[in-house]
């Protein structure tokens, strides 16, 4: 069996220790699994220094499930949500709120432009009905990093609450909830945490979640009820993905052993640097300005001197066990290479060499 190396936004290459941690059974009501769940919730809070202010609510499913559950639980019919959009995931957040029948407003930027905090400030001044603001930290559509601290500052100055889709950044990019005014952070198991897919989680300010009892129109997507379940007896409300929990706990232990998010980010930055140093001289151009590109997933334009055929590129690399990702832009032909996952510098050297040899 060839081991695949996944240069994607997730699911990602996992460490062998993560896969081994999943190779057994647990009873959902067993003391050992209840302890594993408690460790999971505590470790997730510690990653962003949130133990004193926020509570952690894991939920079965992919990342979109936790986004939907959070909007259903935190935004009521009496609220108005402003979504800041510069890519597909911002659009998805607005679509979720609309589908739930919530009052939604959006400001949209081009996909190669960051959210501008002064525009957000002006919009909040113009519309006093807005109660919450939502933004994507790292927009996976392109890999663009939005200026979260500056956005959080203008939202706080307006006395409003900020909800952050940190799906592609949590565990690597700086996010200190003891100092950054963010009411709710949403992320999943299988991106920078390098765990298996199948679990999302929310870190929510305790008072905000306490006030959300009975608000969600959905039985399953109710983070208040899900939270009460954990608090009452340490167990999951419905069948837990036991192996995913075990794999993610092991992945969080490995994050700590690596030195925490700062050192993980440094490793991802080295991966991005290798991609740029290897691919730009060949004629592949980064889609974003370099200063906007987060070391999470990089979007490249094809070489102008070659006929671009994504399927052919994909197949040639996949034959060597190297898996890349298609672009997600409508206005430009691109492909994407993830910098995240349990990969090393040498994996990126091998990928660059394989692309160069095509």
Ligand X SMILES: *Cc1c(COP(=O)(O)O)cnc(C)c1O
By CB under 6 A, name the binding residues for ligand X.
9-10, 62-64, 89, 136, 140, 165, 167-168, 188
Smallest gap, in angstroms, from Cβ of residue 243 to ligand X? 18
Q: Which is nearer to ligand X, 165 or 205 (CB)?
A: 165
Q: Which is nearer to ligand X, 56 or 166 (CB)?
A: 166
Smallest gap, in angstroms, from Cβ of residue 60 to ligand X? 12
Residue closest to ligand X, measured at CB: 63
Give the separation between CA 132 and CA 150, rounded to whole angstroms. Answer: 16
Q: Which is nearer to ligand X, 89 or 230 (CB)?
A: 89
Smallest gap, in angstroms, from Cβ of residue 353 to ligand X? 28
Give the separation between CA 197 and CA 248, rounded to whole angstroms. Answer: 9
Q: Which is nearer to ligand X, 34 or 81 (CB)?
A: 81
Smallest gap, in angstroms, from Cβ of residue 63 to ligand X? 3
Smallest gap, in angstroms, from Cβ of residue 338 to ligand X? 10
Q: Which is nearer to ligand X, 37 or 86 (CB)?
A: 86
């Amino acid at each position: 069996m060839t081991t695949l190396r996944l240069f994607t936004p997730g699911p990602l290459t996992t460490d062998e220790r993560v896969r081994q941690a999943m190779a057994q059974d647990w009873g959902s009501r067993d003391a050992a699994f209840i302890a594993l769940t408690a460790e999971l919730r505590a470790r997730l809070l510690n990653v962003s220094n949130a133990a004193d202010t926020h509570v952690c609510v894991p939920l079965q499913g992919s990342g979109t499930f936790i986004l939907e559950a959070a909007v259903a639980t935190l935004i009521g019919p009496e609220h108005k949500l402003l979504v800041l959009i510069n890519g597909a995931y911002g659009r998805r957040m607005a679509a979720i709120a609309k589908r739930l029948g919530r009052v939604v407003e959006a400001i949209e930027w081009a996909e190669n432009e960051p959210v501008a905090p002064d525009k957000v400030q002006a919009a909040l001044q113009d519309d006093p009905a807005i109660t919450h603001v939502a933004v994507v930290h790292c927009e996976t559509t392109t890999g663009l990093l939005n200026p979260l601290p500056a956005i959080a500052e203008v939202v706080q100055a307006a006395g409003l609450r900020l909800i952050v889709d940190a799906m592609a950044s949590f565990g690597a990019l700086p996010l200190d909830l003891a100092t950054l005014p963010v009411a709710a952070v949403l992320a999943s198991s299988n991106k920078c945490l390098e765990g298996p897919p199948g679990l999302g989680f929310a870190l929510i300010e305790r008072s905000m979640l306490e006030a959300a009892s009975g608000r969600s129109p959905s039985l399953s997507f109710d983070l208040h009820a899900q939270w009460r379940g954990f608090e009452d007896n340490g167990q999951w409300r419905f069948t837990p993905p036991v192996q995913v929990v075990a794999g993610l706990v092991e992945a969080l232990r490995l994050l700590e052993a690596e030195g925490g998010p700062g050192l993980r980010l440094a490793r991802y930055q080295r991966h991005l640097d290798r991609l740029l140093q290897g691919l730009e001289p060949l004629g592949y151009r980064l889609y974003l300005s370099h200063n906007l590109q987060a070391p999470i997933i990089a979007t490249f334009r094809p070489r102008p001197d070659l006929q671009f055929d994504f399927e052919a590129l994909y197949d040639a690399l996949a034959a060597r066990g190297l898996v890349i990702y298609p672009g997600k832009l409508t206005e430009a032909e691109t492909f994407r290479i993830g910098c995240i996952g349990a990969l090393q510098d040498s994996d990126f050297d091998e990928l660059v060499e394989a692309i160069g040899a095509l």
